[in-house]
Structure 1
Amino acid sequence: MEPSPANELGIPECLFRARRLDLSLDTCSRPKAPIEAQRQETLAALKPLAASAPDIRVIDAFEVFCGRVLCKPYAPARL
Protein backbone atom coordinates (compact mmCIF):
# COMPACT_ATOMS: atom_id res chain seq x y z
CA MET A 1 0.00 0.00 0.00
CA GLU A 2 1.34 3.39 -0.91
CA PRO A 3 1.95 5.83 1.92
CA SER A 4 -1.11 7.75 3.00
CA PRO A 5 -0.84 11.49 3.49
CA ALA A 6 1.28 12.29 6.53
CA ASN A 7 0.06 14.61 9.23
CA GLU A 8 2.59 15.94 11.72
CA LEU A 9 -0.15 16.71 14.24
CA GLY A 10 -1.22 13.11 14.70
CA ILE A 11 -4.50 12.44 12.94
CA PRO A 12 -6.55 10.97 15.80
CA GLU A 13 -5.38 13.68 18.18
CA CYS A 14 -6.12 16.46 15.71
CA LEU A 15 -9.61 15.17 14.92
CA PHE A 16 -10.38 14.67 18.61
CA ARG A 17 -9.18 18.18 19.43
CA ALA A 18 -11.21 19.71 16.60
CA ARG A 19 -14.36 17.93 17.74
CA ARG A 20 -13.74 18.78 21.40
CA LEU A 21 -13.17 22.48 20.65
CA ASP A 22 -16.01 22.63 18.10
CA LEU A 23 -13.58 23.50 15.29
CA SER A 24 -13.88 22.52 11.67
CA LEU A 25 -12.31 19.13 10.94
CA ASP A 26 -10.57 20.90 8.07
CA THR A 27 -8.14 22.33 10.62
CA CYS A 28 -6.55 18.87 10.37
CA SER A 29 -6.19 19.08 6.57
CA ARG A 30 -2.86 19.79 4.89
CA PRO A 31 -1.88 21.24 1.50
CA LYS A 32 -1.55 18.55 -1.15
CA ALA A 33 1.60 19.77 -2.95
CA PRO A 34 4.17 19.16 -0.17
CA ILE A 35 2.61 15.82 0.74
CA GLU A 36 2.67 14.75 -2.90
CA ALA A 37 6.36 15.66 -3.16
CA GLN A 38 7.17 13.88 0.11
CA ARG A 39 5.76 10.55 -1.02
CA GLN A 40 7.66 10.41 -4.33
CA GLU A 41 10.75 8.81 -2.76
CA THR A 42 8.68 5.99 -1.28
CA LEU A 43 6.85 5.45 -4.56
CA ALA A 44 10.14 5.33 -6.43
CA ALA A 45 11.15 2.37 -4.25
CA LEU A 46 7.78 0.59 -4.23
CA LYS A 47 6.94 0.58 -7.93
CA PRO A 48 10.03 -1.35 -9.17
CA LEU A 49 9.59 -3.80 -6.31
CA ALA A 50 5.97 -4.43 -7.31
CA ALA A 51 6.97 -4.80 -10.96
CA SER A 52 9.55 -7.44 -10.04
CA ALA A 53 7.08 -9.90 -8.52
CA PRO A 54 3.60 -10.85 -9.73
CA ASP A 55 2.26 -11.26 -6.17
CA ILE A 56 3.15 -7.72 -5.08
CA ARG A 57 0.81 -4.83 -5.91
CA VAL A 58 0.96 -1.16 -5.14
CA ILE A 59 -2.42 0.20 -4.10
CA ASP A 60 -2.78 3.94 -4.49
CA ALA A 61 -5.30 5.38 -2.04
CA PHE A 62 -3.77 8.86 -2.13
CA GLU A 63 -6.60 10.41 -4.12
CA VAL A 64 -9.12 9.10 -1.57
CA PHE A 65 -7.61 11.46 1.00
CA CYS A 66 -6.55 14.30 -1.28
CA GLY A 67 -8.58 16.62 -3.43
CA ARG A 68 -7.12 19.13 -5.87
CA VAL A 69 -5.63 21.31 -3.11
CA LEU A 70 -5.99 19.66 0.32
CA CYS A 71 -5.46 16.26 1.90
CA LYS A 72 -8.06 15.52 4.57
CA PRO A 73 -7.43 12.87 7.22
CA TYR A 74 -11.05 11.77 7.23
CA ALA A 75 -13.88 10.74 4.91
CA PRO A 76 -16.47 13.53 5.24
CA ALA A 77 -19.44 11.20 4.94
CA ARG A 78 -18.21 9.01 7.79
CA LEU A 79 -17.50 11.47 10.61
Structure 2
Amino acid sequence: MQARQWMGIAWPAFLLAAVLEMLVFAMVDPGDLHWFGQPLDWSRQAVYTVAFFVFWGVTMASSALTALLVIRKTED
Protein backbone atom coordinates (compact mmCIF):
# COMPACT_ATOMS: atom_id res chain seq x y z
CA MET A 1 0.00 0.00 0.00
CA GLN A 2 1.06 3.54 -0.60
CA ALA A 3 1.79 6.04 2.15
CA ARG A 4 -1.39 7.94 1.34
CA GLN A 5 -3.49 4.80 1.80
CA TRP A 6 -1.79 4.07 5.12
CA MET A 7 -2.55 7.59 6.32
CA GLY A 8 -6.14 7.11 5.20
CA ILE A 9 -6.23 4.08 7.48
CA ALA A 10 -4.14 5.33 10.42
CA TRP A 11 -5.57 8.82 10.87
CA PRO A 12 -9.28 7.91 11.21
CA ALA A 13 -8.27 4.97 13.41
CA PHE A 14 -6.27 7.36 15.61
CA LEU A 15 -9.25 9.66 16.01
CA LEU A 16 -11.58 6.77 16.81
CA ALA A 17 -9.09 5.37 19.32
CA ALA A 18 -9.03 8.76 21.07
CA VAL A 19 -12.84 8.78 21.25
CA LEU A 20 -12.92 5.19 22.54
CA GLU A 21 -10.32 6.09 25.17
CA MET A 22 -12.45 8.97 26.41
CA LEU A 23 -15.64 6.91 26.45
CA VAL A 24 -14.15 3.88 28.19
CA PHE A 25 -12.23 5.77 30.85
CA ALA A 26 -15.14 8.09 31.54
CA MET A 27 -16.80 4.99 33.01
CA VAL A 28 -13.85 2.81 34.10
CA ASP A 29 -11.31 3.69 36.76
CA PRO A 30 -7.88 2.26 35.81
CA GLY A 31 -7.13 1.75 39.50
CA ASP A 32 -10.01 -0.75 39.77
CA LEU A 33 -8.84 -3.02 36.95
CA HIS A 34 -8.03 -6.67 37.65
CA TRP A 35 -6.25 -9.25 35.50
CA PHE A 36 -7.11 -12.90 36.20
CA GLY A 37 -8.50 -11.92 39.59
CA GLN A 38 -5.40 -9.99 40.65
CA PRO A 39 -5.21 -6.19 40.82
CA LEU A 40 -3.35 -4.70 37.87
CA ASP A 41 -0.13 -3.18 39.23
CA TRP A 42 0.26 -0.56 36.50
CA SER A 43 0.13 3.19 36.89
CA ARG A 44 -2.92 4.99 35.54
CA GLN A 45 -0.83 6.50 32.77
CA ALA A 46 0.42 3.04 31.73
CA VAL A 47 -3.17 1.74 31.56
CA TYR A 48 -4.26 4.75 29.49
CA THR A 49 -1.29 4.35 27.14
CA VAL A 50 -1.65 0.61 26.59
CA ALA A 51 -5.42 0.91 26.14
CA PHE A 52 -4.98 3.69 23.58
CA PHE A 53 -2.55 1.62 21.50
CA VAL A 54 -4.81 -1.44 21.72
CA PHE A 55 -7.79 0.64 20.59
CA TRP A 56 -5.71 2.18 17.81
CA GLY A 57 -4.44 -1.21 16.65
CA VAL A 58 -7.91 -2.74 16.55
CA THR A 59 -9.47 0.19 14.72
CA MET A 60 -6.53 0.33 12.30
CA ALA A 61 -6.89 -3.39 11.59
CA SER A 62 -10.58 -2.88 10.90
CA SER A 63 -9.91 0.03 8.55
CA ALA A 64 -7.11 -1.86 6.79
CA LEU A 65 -9.38 -4.87 6.26
CA THR A 66 -12.04 -2.61 4.77
CA ALA A 67 -9.47 -0.97 2.48
CA LEU A 68 -8.16 -4.38 1.43
CA LEU A 69 -11.66 -5.59 0.59
CA VAL A 70 -12.37 -2.44 -1.45
CA ILE A 71 -9.10 -2.84 -3.36
CA ARG A 72 -9.85 -6.50 -4.09
CA LYS A 73 -13.38 -5.66 -5.21
CA THR A 74 -12.22 -2.98 -7.66
CA GLU A 75 -9.64 -5.36 -9.17
CA ASP A 76 -12.30 -7.92 -10.11
Asked whether the two chains share a fold, i.e. TM above 0.5, the reply is no
Give TM-score scaled by structure 1 length.
Answer: 0.31
Give TM-score scaled by structure 2 length.
Answer: 0.32
Query: Which has the greater radius of gyration?
Result: 2
Q: Which has the higher helix share?
A: 2
